[in-house]
A = this chain, B = another copy of it.
Amino acid sequence: MKQRILVVDDEEKIRAIIRKYAEFEGYEITEARDGMEALEICRKEDFNLIILDVMMPELDGFSTCREIRKIKNIPFIMLSARGEEYDKIHGFELGIDDYVVKPFSPRELMMRVKVVIGRNEPKGMTGGHEIFQAEGLVVDFTGRTVTVNGKRAELSPKEYDLLFYMVRNRNIALERERLITEVWGYDYYGDDRTLDTHIKLLRSSLGEYRRFLVTLRGVGYRFEA
């Protein structure tokens, strides 16, 4: 599901720039020309974030923020002209989430958007977790969890060890011997089929992403994503 952003600014040009960059990042954009219009839209629709210019006709940014806050709990990023430090404080004390000084670099704005939206993500504890992601497969090394298309996959200890090792060494041809010694231990002297068996189990745990586990005949395996 796409994240929705409401952009409120009286300058058509600014809105267009933000829209362009934000849509490129995969957000869905709605525009409003002033505070009143923003308020009207917010009564009817929900957003994940509102980007709000401070200087606007009709209803200025702070008042708009205050009014919208009364009916919805949505994060705000304020756009303010340079040198309005008092305004910044004012904004922060109103409980806004961030501000960007005009003229701003669109890339910087997008970064702040990501941070603010990511912060309010309930499960988005991405911070601090060593995570690998490819399409719908998420491997969280820190939390020792694997998610397939948003659904938790319960792996066995050996499956975790094997997967973690292969993901950490992805896109590399991993010889059978190497996998055995690295995952099982140097002293392991076991059956030929043990590795295959665990690859099989891992594949079944990965569901559609079993295709990431490529067999290299005569050599070993490669995790490819």
Q: Check if B219 sits within 8 Å of A144, measured CB to CB.
A: yes
Residues of B within 8 A of A128 (CB): 69-70, 72-73, 95
Q: Check if A156 sits within 8 Å of B92, measured CB to CB.
A: no
Closest residue to A72 on the B side, CB-wise?
B128
Q: With A70-B128, A218-B157, A219-B157 given, is the CB distance from A115 to B144 under 8 Å?
A: no
Residues of B within 8 A of A217 (CB): 156-157
Q: Check if A172 sits within 8 Å of B98, measured CB to CB.
A: no
Q: Check if A105 sits within 8 Å of B85, measured CB to CB.
A: yes
Q: Check if B172 sits within 8 Å of A142, measured CB to CB.
A: yes
Q: Check if A173 sits within 8 Å of B142, measured CB to CB.
A: yes
Q: Is A204 an interface residue (CB 8 A)?
A: no
Q: With A172-B143, A222-B143 given, is the CB distance from A114 to B92 under 8 Å?
A: yes
Residue from A95, A108, A222 having most chain B Cβ neighbours under 10 A: A95
Residues of B within 8 A of A69 (CB): 127-129, 142
Q: How large is the interface on A (under 10, 10 to 19, 20 to 34, 35 or more residues)?
A: 35 or more
Q: Is A94 an interface residue (CB 8 A)?
A: yes
| CB of A25 to closest CB in B, whole Å | 12
Residues of B within 8 A of A70 (CB): 128, 130, 142
Closest residue to A118 on the B side, CB-wise?
B95
Q: Is A126 an interface residue (CB 8 A)?
A: yes
Q: Is A171 an interface residue (CB 8 A)?
A: yes
Q: Is A125 an interface residue (CB 8 A)?
A: yes
**Distance in angstroms between the alpha carbons of A216 and B173 in the assembled complex:** 29
| CB of A121 to closest CB in B, whole Å | 11
Q: Is A107 an interface residue (CB 8 A)?
A: yes
Residues of chain A from 88 to 147 with CB closer than 8 A to chain B in the complex = 88-89, 92, 94-98, 105, 107-108, 111, 114-115, 118-119, 125-130, 142-144
29 inter-chain pairs at a CB distance below 8 angstroms, sorted by A residue, are A69-B127, A69-B128, A69-B129, A69-B142, A70-B128, A70-B130, A72-B128, A73-B125, A73-B128, A85-B105, A85-B107, A88-B108, A88-B111, A92-B111, A92-B115, A95-B126, A95-B127, A96-B127, A97-B115, A97-B127, A129-B171, A129-B172, A143-B172, A144-B216, A144-B219, A144-B222, A156-B217, A157-B217, A157-B218
